[in-house]
A and B are shown apart, each in its own frame.
Chain A
Amino acid sequence: MTRTAFAAGPGGTLAKTLIDQLGDTRTNAALVVFFAHVDFDGQLIGDGLRAHFSGVPVIGCSANGAFSEHGFGKSGCSAIVITRDVAPRVAVAMAHLDPDAHAGIARAGVELSRAFGASLRELDAERHVGLMLVEGATQREEVVNEALGNVAPALRFVGGSAGDDIQFKRTWAYCNGELGYDACSLAVLEMAVPFGIVQACNMVSSGRVVEVTRVEPGTRIIREIDGRPAVQLFAELAGKPSAELGFVDFLTHPLGLMIDGAPWLRSGVRVDGEGVLFACSVLEGAKLDVMRGVELVANTQEQRLAIEQQLGGPIGGAVLFNCAYRMLEAQIKGSEAAYHAVLSTFPHAGIHTNGESYLGHINQTLTGLAFRAS
């Protein structure tokens, strides 16, 4: 049975508090995943969990906040034990992204392949899935996702960008005793139960499509949309002068790359001259839908039911990556408790991220791995 935990400071006792809640799962544990506020000592927490769950892989990363069905909070730490009846085989590896993210991911891929005794590209994508916890401060999620696709194009990696109080200065990832600031912790799981990818997003297309006509090469800045300074679109959508645009205006009006009817959100962060800095890179020439929000809690409830339908029964456990934008939206609207109440109908451990990943980098979603009970 999947066990989860949530703990709030003090830092020195976090691992013990988590272990107390995780109960006697040592003999059946296949993987431990934890998320801890960036101010906590990830090495201490990870090593504490590793010492308790002797021989079981442990991965984790820093967070903007953590949550489980046992609690939520900015200064928190969450953890989940995925058991062998859910995932009989698990391998983990840490990829170092400096100096070359492609090379780092490729090396980690070799390590994971060795552990599985088969190339990652040969694993059955319907029975295997990957988790990725990538450092989230240096805008390398696009290249990391691309590199993972090159190593294992069919294998679906789902995950998120480590958080640091939304400062984008320094985050960390942990894997089996090693903590890295330039790192991506990877896990590959062979699943013995039905599983699915959570792609919850409370934004729908307004029906208006715009074209990104100029981007700043090598950055996440969009300079022009439909041949006009990008900032003009957002001023128009917000109904205010561009000089008054703030973070909430971008949170309210993300753009969506529509794939098979589902939006892959690209969210603005702030004005940059006449352009807009986004939280995800966008290709020049991309046609994006202007999105509008729907109610977060009701939408999340709908998405939960959709996942249950996909799994053919109740969710037995989930590892969830919730964008900090959604965390802020829930805080602004006073719906944090209601939001977490929806998620708390099933066991889970989650992180408020600096971005999410699923085949590519995404913004403003709740992304994750959900599975049936064994």
Chain B
Amino acid sequence: MTSLESLAEGLRKQLGVAAVFNSINTRLIIQTGINLKKFTPEQNKDPATLMKVTDGLRKMGIDMEAA
């Protein structure tokens, strides 16, 4: 994953149900401040931001590297 955009797309596909994506995105916003539905162009390609999200997802048992 090289951008938040591709990560969000991959996560949507992996989860399938839109409501589940919304729940997990809400958890991410609260825990990291990053919103996968609303991010800036700078955040989109920022490696540190990407890492923060993938780490948060990994703690939830969601491995985006394997997606």
Does A359 sit at the interface, judged by CB under 8 A? yes
DSSP class of A's interface residues: helix, strand, loop or mixed? loop
Instruction: Provide the bound-state CA to CA distance between A361 and B17, in Å.
Output: 24
Once the chains are docked, how many angstroms separate the CA of A257 from the CA of B60? 22
Which chain B positions have C-beta within 8 A of A154? 15, 17, 20, 23-24
Say whether B26 contacts A359, CB under 8 Å. yes
Residues of A within 8 A of B33 (CB): 283, 285-286
A125 to B15, CA, bound (A): 11
Give the residue of A126, A259, A260, A359 whose beta carbon is less than 8 angstroms from that of B17: A126
On whether the beta carbons of B59 and A150 are closer than 8 Å, the reply is yes
Chain A contact patch, size range: 20 to 34
Report the interface size class on chain B.
20 to 34
> A153 to B62, Cβ gap below 8 A?
yes
Interface assignment of B66: CB less than 8 Å from any CB of chain A? no
For chain A residues 268-285, which have a beta carbon within 8 Å of chain B?
283, 285
Asked whether, in the complex, the Cβ of A150 is within 8 Å of the Cβ of B60, the reply is yes
Asked whether, in the complex, the Cβ of B23 is within 8 Å of the Cβ of A156, the reply is yes
Secondary structure at the B interface, as helix, strand, loop or mixed, is helix
At the interface, yes or no: A146 with Cβ under 8 Å from chain B?
Answer: yes
Whether A360 contacts B35 by the Cβ 8 Å rule is no
Q: With the chains together, A153 CA to B30 CA distance in Å?
A: 13
Interfacial chain A residues near B6, Cβ < 8 Å: none
Q: Does A121 contact B (CB under 8 A)?
A: yes
Q: Are B60 and A359 interface neighbours, CB within 8 A?
A: no
The 10 closest A-B pairs by CB, nearest first: A360-B30, A153-B60, A154-B20, A149-B27, A283-B33, A359-B26, A150-B59, A153-B24, A150-B60, A359-B27
Give 11 new A-B contacts, CB below 8 A, not counting A146-B27, A154-B20, A285-B33: A121-B61, A126-B17, A145-B30, A149-B60, A150-B59, A153-B27, A156-B23, A259-B29, A283-B32, A360-B27, A361-B30
Interface residues of A (CB under 8 A from B): 121, 125-126, 145-146, 149-150, 153-154, 156, 257, 259-260, 264, 283, 285-286, 359-361
Q: List 29 A-B contacts (CB under 8 A).
A: A121-B61, A125-B17, A125-B19, A125-B20, A145-B27, A145-B30, A146-B59, A149-B60, A150-B59, A150-B60, A153-B23, A153-B24, A153-B27, A153-B60, A154-B15, A154-B17, A154-B23, A259-B26, A259-B35, A260-B22, A264-B30, A285-B33, A286-B33, A359-B23, A359-B26, A359-B27, A360-B26, A360-B31, A361-B30
